Structure 1
Amino acid sequence: MHVLLIGSGGREHALAWKLRASPLLTRLTVAPGNAGIAAIADTAALRVEDHGAVIEFCRREGVDFVVVGPEAPLVAGLVDDLAAAGIKAFGPSKEAARLEGSKAFTKALCDEAGVPTAAYGRFSDAAGAADYIRARGAPIVVKADGLAAGKGVVVATSVDEALLAVEACFSGAFGAAGAEVVIEEMLVGEEVSFFALADGETVLAFGSAQDHKRAFDGDAGPNTGGMGAYSPAPIMTEAMDARVMAEIITPSIACLARRGTPFSGILFAGLMITEAGPKLIEYNVRFGDPETQVILPRLEGDLLALMLAAAEGRLAGETATFSDDAALTVVMATRGYPGSYGKGSEIGGLVAAAAVPDTMVFHAGTVADGARVLASGGRVLAVTGLGRTVAAAQERAYAAVDAIDWPDGFCRRDIGWRALG
């Protein structure tokens, strides 16, 4: 079958790499893709926000199945429009994608479904939000309600910092995403990314990971989109997996089904494992980045077959099995990220890095310039190693990192520290 994968990041490179292994696949096209993806799949310069253009491409090129990588097209209803055109797709409907598109929506669902989460208030005016903050004190978390490209969350250590975050939201710093704010207690514990595959009713656990959000070693510096990750998360024992499924994932999926807006696709739960047990921080409605780069190398079996089963409502009886090996990925970013950074620097040593045993180099922000590969974004590469232990996976990942010749790039040298500790 001909599969169209939407996206251009390291997540999509990992998805493309795993989809290519499926015996069901005859052709893979990625829109728009990147330099690494172009080496293993066809690419297409589609304007993904133009749903009509995506539909026309599918019809013209005989696309049988669409896999939507990023959150924005899902929240915008691309899957709904594809379905209306008779084109099968992997991902939730626009209504179900509100789990990521609106933090207030998710909080209300938690209340309805009895899902443990942080105590919160939601506000559409700055005065009410400010009163709530002053009454609760700090530390406290301020979140723009909508999609804000990962920049709409402030963990405030003082009341003044929280008030400034509220002011930024209501002054238009995040556009429409900040028209409403959610203010939460700050949860204390160990943070985990947990994934589940759903077809509207049936839900399968789909692995766990822990990522590193801060830019520099020792969890210092500004928050980023993720500077590395490893899988599985050691804190996610079999018993904790079962609790997360029973207390958080399954009730959420059941609640959406009762509402008449069933969730189909991959559900990514950001969790805090507290002394009282797991609590939901937030939901995302797509694979994570860089978590995908450590989850999928551990997946045994056919990813495309599982995605089709989810899209067609027949996950019952299916299984998702993962290797006992660990995987660890190191993100290489352009110097200056997550602040301002240059573009166009050349990346060398990629062939040597790929030759390191049990490693993969996934591209995110890259473009091809003839035979050269140039950096075109902030997070540029995700270098993944596999091993029997996190330590072994870390050793291989950094061996591949060290083979890459990119003076304008940087990475953390302590990915995996929590698991190793």
Structure 2
Amino acid sequence: MRVLLVGSGGREHALAWKLAASPRVEALWAAPGNPGIARHARCVPIGADRLDALADFAARERIDLTIVGPEAPLVAGLADRFAARGLVALGPGAAAAELEGSKAFAKALMTRYGIPTAAYRTFTDPEAARRHCRAMGAPLVVKASGLAGGKGAIVCRTLAEAEAAVAACMEQRVFGAAGETVVVEELLEGEEVSAFAVSNGHDVVAFGVAQDHKPVWDDDRGPNTGGMGAYSPVPRVDAALERRILDEIVRPTIAALAREGRPYRGVLFAGLMLTAEGPKVIEFNCRFGDPECQALLPRVADDIVPLLDAAARGAPLPGAVRWTEDATVCVTLASGGYPGAYDTGFPIEGLEAAEAIPGVRVFHAGTAWRDGTLVTAGGRVLSVTATAPTLAEAIARAYEAAGRIRFERMHYRRDIGRKGLAPRPAGHRLA
């Protein structure tokens, strides 16, 4: 097969690494890719937002399957553009991708079909949103309805924080057009996990569970980021709970979208809170998570191409994904200042030393070549990923590797995976 991968982050590097290992892939391109992806694929200078240029390239190179990493091209209709030209792309069309593109739409869909989620209200007027916050009382969550790079959900412990969040979204336009509509919802209590599945429009196959760490600082403090690290498997999620997530959330969501004329083909990412009443949806995403993808793919024992190709074509899905017994931890190395303003262009050293540690892979997220030197080029720079027989060993390897890498103003959390080491109830089994 001739495969095109769209995107340029750590998630896409992990996908490129896994796709390149498939005996079914005879040629692999990435648009636009990054220096790490270039180790596995031919990178072409086409941005992920250039939908027609991507379709032109896929047609010219006779691409059999295009795999879309980031959400923005899918929400903008990339899969529809490809389908109109007889090209195959993994990812939902724009109508189904609204599940991520509009939190207001997603919440309304869940309400209509009884899919468990937090109580909420949607607002387009900031004063009405503030009045509702005062009536509801803190704590609560204010969310920009549109795409905000994983940073648009603001947990508010006080009413002052809630009013500031409404102002940031709707008046100061911190998230641009994404904040024109906000969702105000109850704050769910519990443990947060990311559950993945692959759908062909009517059937689904589970694709693992990971736990992300969104706040920028240790102990879940500070503003949300795109993700500072992840680990998998999650001890709290055993096989029975994973089946419950599929039966109560994933399958009903796919069926609801199909019923409304929005068939969903692609990766469905459910951000969940494991509450005392059971799993509830925090948000949906229409693609693999980043950094969850970097923690999941090293654990997959199978070639992922048959599953992804079948989903993209609406064909029958292969059987359940097989997993190794190992644990994987991914630690994000970020630029100082992220998720706020940060500088780039700093030389990166120590990658070879880090990858010399058994079980360690370093996926590139925000890197570039400058005059023959690898330099920082984004907020999240590298995903240091370690696989080991136990979670504790994977954590140790990941942090040993992170300690061998250097660039100016480098920042990373020191507690990725620690929640997974907490004692588990008697009789609890890993998924």
TM-score by length of 2: 0.95
1:313, distance to aligned residue in structure 2 (A): 1.7
Kept in 1: contact 2:30–2:37 (CA 8 A): yes
Report how far residue 317 of structure 1 moved.
Answer: 4.6
List runs of 5+ in structure 1 lacking aligned partners.
none
1:213, distance to aligned residue in structure 2 (A): 1.5
- Check the 8 A contact 2:307/2:318 in 1, yes or no: no
CA distance in 2, matches of 1:129, 1:334: 34
- Tell me the secondary structure at the aligned position of residue 97 of structure 1: helix
Contact 1:306 1:315 in 2 (8 A): no
Partner Cα separation in structure 1 for residue 362 and residue 151 of structure 2 = 27
The residue number in structure 2 matching 1:148 is 148
After TM superposition, the structure 1 = structure 2 runs for residues 127-276 of structure 1, keeping only pairs within 5 Å, are 127-171=127-171, 172-276=173-277
CA distance in 2, matches of 1:180, 1:217: 31
Q: CA RMSD in A?
A: 1.3
Q: Alignment partner of 1:257: what SS? A: helix
Alignment of 1:16-415 (within 5 A): 16-171=16-171, 172-415=173-416
Question: Quick one: distance in 2 between partners of 1:222 and 1:161?
Answer: 12
Deviates further, 263-272 or 144-153: 144-153
Partner of 2:429: none
Matched letter for residue 144 of structure 2: A
How far apart in 2 are the matches of 1:370 and 1:299?
37
Pick which of 213-222 and 96-105 moved more: 213-222
Residue 136 of structure 1 and its aligned partner are, at CA, apart by 0.7
Where structure 2 has 5 or more consecutive residues not aligned to the other structure, the ranges are 423-431
Q: Call closer, same or farther: CA 1:108–1:225 in 2, change over 3 Å.
A: same
In structure 1, C-alpha distance between the alignment counterparts of 2:196 and 2:258, rounded to whole Å: 19
Tell me how far 1:370 sits from its aligned partner: 4.9
- Note the C-alpha offset of 1:361: 0.6
Residue identity (%): 53
2:427 is matched with: none
**Shift in Å, 1:409:** 1.4
Task: State the aligned residue count.
Answer: 421
Query: For residue 292 of structure 2, what is the amino acid of its counterpart?
Result: E
Offset at 1:258? 1.2
For each residue in 1:173-217, what CA deviation from the matched residue of structure 2 results, as whole angstroms up to 9, or x when unmatched? 333222221110000000001001100011011100111112222
The 1:134–1:69 alpha-carbon spacing in structure 2 relative to 1, beyond 3 Å, is same
Partner of 2:10: 10
The answer (yes or no) to whether the contact 1:203–1:315 under 8 Å persists in 2 is no
Over residues 68-121 of structure 1, what are the superposed CA-to-partner deviations in whole Å (9 max), with x where a residue is unaligned?
Answer: 100000000000001101110100110000010000111111112211100001
Q: Distance in 1 between matches of 2:221 and 2:155?
A: 14
Residues 353-390 of structure 1: CA deviation (Å, up to 9, x unaligned): 11111111100000123542111111101111111111
Instruction: State the shift of 1:401 in Å.
Output: 1.5
Measured in 2, the distance between the counterparts of 1:200 and 1:84 equals: 18
Deviation at 1:153, TM superposition (A): 1.8
Tell me the amino acid that sits aligned with residue 104 of structure 2. A
Q: 1:359 to 1:7 in 2, by over 3 A?
A: same
Distance in 2 between residues matched to 1:154 and 1:369, nearest whole Å: 36
Worse-matched range after superposition: 148-157 or 280-289: 148-157
Determine the C-alpha separation between the residues in 2 that align with 1:38 and 1:192. Answer: 31
Q: Give the letter aligned to residue 168 of structure 1.
A: A
- Please say which of residues 368-377 and 236-245 is displaced more in the overlay: 368-377
Contact 2:306/2:318 (<8 A) preserved:
no
Does the C-alpha gap of structure 1 residues 114 and 405 become closer, same or farther in structure 2, counting only changes over 3 Å?
Answer: same
Normalised TM-score (structure 1): 0.97
| Aligned residue identity for 1:344 | G
What is the rounded CA distance, in whole Å, between the counterparts of 2:221 and 2:145 in structure 1?
Answer: 26
Q: Residues 292-333 of structure 1: CA distance to partner in whole angstroms, max 9, x if unpaired? A: 001000011111111001112224453211112110011111
Amino acid at match of 1:57: F
Q: Mean Cα displacement is larger for which, 15-24 or 212-221?
A: 212-221
Query: What code does the residue aligned with 1:132 have?
Result: H
CA–CA distance in structure 1, aligned partners of residues 113 and 167 of structure 2: 32
CA–CA distance in 2 between the matches of 1:46 and 1:327?
A: 32
- Of 376-385 and 336-345, the range deviating more from structure 2: 336-345
